[in-house]
């Protein structure tokens, strides 16, 4: 194999591969970037056990072939060497010669014939999707981190003629995001959140991808990129049924950034119990947190829309803050039965369950003071 490619294009492709390959793996070759000549171009491949990335770059091909080079090492060399182009060739001694500008490397490589390249299917139907980074931001944060709940570590995507929704849930909250795509054949898939998160790091918010489902996999393509991910089998929480059962008691209007800043400020003293209270009273929304570190409170002016706002309810501070970080603009806050809280924007609806009121803070009495009080009590009793 002997190829000459643009150094910066190769650097971009290998950096993308770095985002895919596993850091720790028993199969050492999976840490490699696999380069192979195909159709007059060089395809740069990176895989893990769940997903695979392929990037295609233009090249001058003097000799066809394939090579597998540690992705982190290759990326580092592309960053530090000079020149506009780089030439990579495979020697007979199991090494690679890499030359660019005034720099030349000779490094050992792995047997490319043993690289477990995934066979990427060609979906029968595809649809254009955009703004993948925003879709990931609005859903991935809400998935479960429990190892024994594999389905809940996925983003649940449902497709129909009206478009599609992506949902993440850990059982105590739901994040339901509206996708940009329209008119897709009915489908229902579980995409591992880790795969969606990796895809979001590979593309920009304005990139348009073609998305297709084939059997137990999903494929996203762009002119120079193909991303393939395995789908999870199983049943996801019926979030649609849960949402239909929610009956708001009252609704207020506020600004998501304003509420996020207020909660960020108040939660600084949340302590071990990590809980805070929301008190609804007319046009006032009061956030309060009390813990072993002290008390913090803040009041916001809100706009009542329906019902009569009243009452105090408790929530997990960190989980609710994650919901607010994923939202922007005007925010409708709805309180439903049992303290269920709905946060709605045009692009995302979050449901947060209430928690129990935290235990009262027990202030310890100094030992010396405690002894004196006991002695006084004893004398009185005598």
Q: What is the CATH number of the domain that holds 162?
A: 3.10.150.10
Tokens of 132: 């993948």
Q: Residue 80: is its pLDDT beyond 80?
A: yes
Contact present, 24 and 12 (Cβ < 8 Å):
no
Looking at the fold, whether 259 and 229 belong to one and the same domain comes out as no
Please report whether residue 271 resides in a domain.
Answer: yes
Q: Is residue 121 part of a domain?
A: no
Contact 32, 21 (CB under 8 A): yes
Per-residue pLDDT tens for 193-223? 999 999 999 999 999 999 999 989 999 999 9
**What is the pLDDT, as a whole number, of residue 179?**
82
Q: Provide the pLDDT confidence category of residue 184 given band limits of 50, 70 and 90.
A: low
DSSP letter at 139? Answer: T
Residue 77: inside a domain: yes
| Distance of alpha carbon 312 from alpha carbon 351, whole angstroms | 17
pLDDT above 80: residue 238: yes
Both 153 and 250 in a single domain?
Answer: no
Structure tokens belonging to residue 234:
């199983």
Shared-domain flag, residues 93 and 153: no
Share of the chain above pLDDT 90, in %: 74
**Residue that terminates a domain, selected from 186, 210, 235:** 235
Over the chain, what is the mean pLDDT? 90
Phi-psi region of 39 (alpha: psi -120 to 50; beta: other; left: phi over 0): left
Confidence tier at 88 by pLDDT (50, 70, 90): very high
Whether 137 and 229 map to the same domain: the answer is yes
pLDDT recorded at residue 181: 62
pLDDT bin (cut points 50, 70, 90) of residue 381 is low
Token pair listed for 171: 């059982």
Q: Is 88 helix (H, G, I), strand (E, B) or coil?
A: strand
- Domain end point (choices 235, 260, 282): 235
User: Which helix H or strand E contains 163, and what residues bound it?
Assistant: strand 163-169
Q: Are 73 and 33 in contact (CB under 8 A)?
A: no
Task: State which residues form the domain around 156.
Answer: 130-235
Q: Do 188 and 87 belong to one domain?
A: no
Number of domains in the chain: 3
Q: Is residue 362 part of a domain?
A: no
Q: Give the model confidence (pLDDT) of 327-355 as tens digits.
A: 999 999 999 999 999 999 999 999 999 99
Give residue 109's pLDDT band: very low, low, confident or very high (50, 70, 90): very high
Task: Please tell me the distance from the alpha carbon of residue 379 to that of residue 259, in angstroms, as a whole number.
Answer: 55
Instruction: Let me know if residue 47 belongs to a domain.
Output: yes
pLDDT, tens digit, 9 for 90 and up, residues 305-324:
999 888 999 999 999 999 99
Residue 365 forms part of a structural domain: no
Which of 81-95, 188-202, 289-303 ranks highest by mean pLDDT?
A: 188-202
- Say if 181 falls within a structural domain: yes
- 299 & 278 share domain: yes
Residue whose C-alpha is closest to residue 87's, from 79, 77, 97, 102: 97
Among residues 235, 266, 298, which one ends one of the domains? 235
Residues 221 and 252 in one domain: no
* Whether residue 183 is found in the same domain as residue 226: yes
The residue-averaged pLDDT of 79-108 equals 91
Percentage of the chain lying above the pLDDT 70 cut: 93
């Amino acid at each position: 194999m002997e190829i000459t490619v643009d150094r910066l294009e190769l650097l971009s492709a290998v950096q993308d591969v770095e985002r895919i390959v596993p850091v720790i793996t028993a199969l050492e070759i999976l840490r490699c970037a696999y380069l192979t000549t195909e159709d007059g171009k060089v395809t740069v491949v990176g895989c893990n056990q769940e997903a695979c990335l392929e990037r295609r770059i233009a090249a001058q091909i003097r000799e066809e072939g394939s090579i597998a080079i540690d992705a982190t090492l290759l990326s580092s060399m592309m960053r530090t060497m000079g020149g506009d182009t780089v030439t990579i060739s495979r020697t007979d001694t199991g090494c690679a010669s890499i030359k660019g500008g005034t720099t030349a490397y000779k490094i050992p490589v792995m047997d490319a014939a043993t690289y477990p390249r995934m066979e990427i299917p060609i979906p029968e139907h595809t649809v254009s999707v955009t703004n993948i980074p925003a879709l990931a931001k609005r859903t991935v944060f809400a998935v479960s981190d429990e190892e024994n709940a594999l389905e809940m570590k996925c983003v649940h995507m449902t497709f129909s003629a009206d478009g599609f929704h992506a949902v993440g849930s850990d059982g105590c909250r739901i994040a339901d995001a509206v996708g940009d795509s329209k008119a897709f054949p009915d489908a229902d898939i579980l995409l591992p959140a880790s795969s969606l998160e990796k895809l979001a790091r590979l593309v920009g918010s304005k990139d348009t991808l073609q998305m297709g489902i084939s059997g137990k996999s999903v494929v996203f393509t762009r002119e120079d990129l193909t991303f393939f991910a395995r789908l999870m089998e199983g049943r996801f929480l019926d979030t649609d049924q849960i949402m239909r059962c929610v009956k708001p008691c009252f609704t207020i209007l506020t600004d998501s950034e304003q509420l996020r800043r207020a909660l960020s400020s108040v939660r600084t003293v949340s302590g071990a119990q990590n809980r805070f209270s929301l008190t609804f009273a007319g046009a006032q929304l009061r956030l309060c947190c009390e813990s072993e570190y002290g008390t913090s409170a803040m009041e916001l002016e809100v706009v009542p829309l329906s019902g009569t706002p009243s009452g105090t309810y408790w929530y997990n501070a960190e989980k609710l803050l994650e919901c607010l970080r994923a939202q922007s603009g005007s925010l409708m806050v709805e309180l439903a039965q049992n303290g269920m809280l709905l946060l709605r924007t045009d692009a995302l609806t979050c449901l947060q369950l209430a928690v129990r009121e935290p235990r009262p803070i027990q202030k310890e009495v100094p030992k010396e003071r405690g002894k004196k009080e006991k002695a006084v009590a004893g004398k009185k009793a005598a």
